[in-house]
Amino acid sequence: MSGYLFIVLLFAAIYYGPDVFVYYALTFLIPVGVGLYLIRARKEPVAKQG
């Protein structure tokens, strides 16, 4: 998010605010989401004892 602060706040480019925020959020969230999906898909179901 430092890029957001640098671009939007330092240069007072308010008109870029929402776009830049969404781009940086997606840049962070897409790899996190893919990683979580792969971790959950990798787990094997645990058989119940009994």
For position 30, what pLDDT does the model report? 95
How far is residue 42's CA from residue 44's CA, in Å, rounded to a whole number?
Answer: 6
For position 31, what pLDDT does the model report? 94
Q: What domain count does the chain have?
A: 1
**Domain housing 28:** 2-42
Query: Do the domain assignments include residue 21?
Result: yes
Query: Do the domain assignments include residue 47?
Result: no
For position 42, what pLDDT does the model report? 82
Q: Which residues contact 50 (CB under 8 A, 6 or more apart)?
A: none
For position 19, what pLDDT does the model report? 75
pLDDT digits (tens, 9 = 90+) for 1-50: 566 666 666 666 666 667 777 888 899 999 999 999 998 888 766 667 65
Query: Do the domain assignments include residue 24?
Result: yes
Query: Do the domain assignments include residue 19?
Result: yes
